[in-house]
Amino acid sequence: MVFRLLRARWRHGSQAVPDPTTAMPDPMFRGFPDIAKEGAPSAEMIAACPGAALTVNPVAIDLGKCHLCGSCARAANSPIRLTNRHHLGQTRRDALIVTAGTSFEEYHARAEKGRDEIRRLFGRSLKLRSVSAAGCNACEMELNATTNANFDMLRYGIDIVASPRHADAVIVTGPVSANMADALEDTWNATPAPKLLVLMGACAISGGLFAASPALDRRFFKDHAPDIYIPGCPPHPLTVVNAILHYLGRENGR
């Protein structure tokens, strides 16, 4: 019996991603949008965009709203191409808007780092408390995946904890329903300062494809400014890990 288990174990080898800061997702992955300067999105493309992320004036995609569904990029004669560049984290809401002609490097250079105090306190140890608030559970599964044997975010001292009392940051997934609004506020209040607010996924950042629903209550974000925005639908685990590392000034993992 134990030999069968050993055989099963041996066949797997090592599955850990050797260096999450340089690893790339498969070329099929839909990430940073490359928008050509020439050409404009058609009315059909705008109408088909589920997150109302695509605009004509100016020609741009708001990654705070974009579900990276690929619909605009698949349309005929589209000026948009979704690359597999996945280091998409930002620190300012307006920095998530990608206008025509913006290169990935320009986009990435906009991401700021946390202030010195934050980097000193949390640079080597950051504990996250997750609040799942009316999303679809895919963001939650990718957040869970950051700690699995493949991505193993714990190697950087970043972990997910069970209580807000033990947390340095609250990471929100989902558009925040009226039914979850109080629980989010309570969790935030139970987390000791100084603390970070991290938004993961298009839904958390803007309400995403649920933005127009009267069942949401996003007043929490009027009072509390997010520190890190992690776009995607759901964001790839590598996107999550790298957004946090970058904020902590550890973009090369050290």
Partner 1 sequence: MPPMDRLLLKNRAAIPFDDLPKISYQALGDIAVGCLCAALRPVALFGVPEERHAESVRIVALFADDAQGTLAVTSVSAQRGATVPSLTPSIPAFHLFERQLWEEFGIVPEGHPWLKPVRYPHDGHPPRRIEEGYRYFAMKGEESHEVAVGPVHAGVIEPGHFRFLCDGERVNHLEIQLGYQHRGVERLFREGPLAAKSTLAESVSGDAAVAHATAYAGLVEALGDTVIPRRASVIRAIGLELERAGIHLGDLSALCNDIGYLPGTQLFAVMRTDIINTSLVLCGSRFGRGLLTPGGVNYDIDEKKKERIIATVRRIRDNAGLLAASIFDNQSVLARFEKTGSVDTATARAVGLVGPAGRASGLTCDIRLTHPTDAYADHPFMKTILQNGEGKAAVSGDVYARAFVRHQEIQDSLRYILELLERLDAARDGIIAPVAPPRPDMIAFSLTEGWRGETLHAAVTGGDGGTRRYYIKDASFHNWFGLALAVRDNGVSDFPLCNKSFNLSYCGFDL
Draw the binding track, 203-222, toward partner 1 (x: CB under 8 A; -: no contact): ------xx-xxxxx------
Q: What number of residues does the chain have?
A: 254
**Counts for the chain of helices (H) and strands (E), in that order:** 10, 10
Transcribe 184-233 into DSSP letters. HHHHHHHSPSS-EEEEESHHHHH-GGGTT-TTB--THHHHS--SEEE-SS
Task: Give the binding-site size for ligand SF4 (rule: CB under 6 A).
Answer: 25
d(CA 205, CA 62): 11
State yes or no: residue 49 binds ligand SF4 (CB under 6 A). yes
Select the binding partner of residue 239 from ligand SF4, partner 1, none (C-beta < 5 to 8 A, by kind). none
Select the binding partner of residue 32 from partner 1, ligand SF4, none (C-beta < 5 to 8 A, by kind). none
Tokens read off for 29: 């992955």
* Backbone φ and ψ of 246, nearest 5°: -60, -45
DSSP state of 90: B
Which listed range, 67-75, 149-157, 177-185, 188-196, lies at the site for ligand SF4 (CB under 6 A)?
67-75
State yes or no: residue 1 binds partner 1 (CB under 8 A). yes
Confirm if 168 and 127 have CB atoms less than 8 A apart.
Answer: yes
Confirm if 219 and 177 have CB atoms less than 8 A apart.
Answer: no
Tokens read off for 206: 């803007």
d(CA 236, CA 230): 10
Residue numbers 149-178 binding ligand SF4 by CB under 6 A: 173-174
State yes or no: residue 165 binds partner 1 (CB under 8 A). no
Q: Which is nearer to ligand SF4, 21 or 71 (CB)?
A: 71
Q: Compute CA distances 52 → 103, 143, 202, 211, whole Å.
A: 22, 25, 11, 9
State yes or no: residue 180 binds ligand SF4 (CB under 6 A). no
Which among 34, 104, 24, 96 is positioned nearest to 70, based on CA atoms?
34
Which listed range, 13-21, 132-140, 161-169, 216-224, lies at the site for ligand SF4 (CB under 6 A)?
132-140
Which listed range, 90-98, 103-111, 135-143, 238-246, lies at the site for partner 1 (CB under 8 A)?
135-143
Q: Which is nearer to ligand SF4, 122 or 229 (CB)?
A: 229
Q: Minimal distance in Å, beta carbon 146 to ligand SF4?
A: 14
List residues binding ligand SF4 (CB under 6 A). 49-51, 53-54, 61, 66-72, 135-136, 138-139, 173-174, 201-203, 208, 233-234
List residues binding partner 1 (CB under 8 A). 1, 4-5, 7-9, 11-12, 15, 25-26, 28-30, 47-48, 50-51, 67, 69-71, 74, 82, 130-145, 148-150, 160, 162-163, 174-175, 177-180, 182-183, 186-187, 209-210, 212-216, 233-234, 236
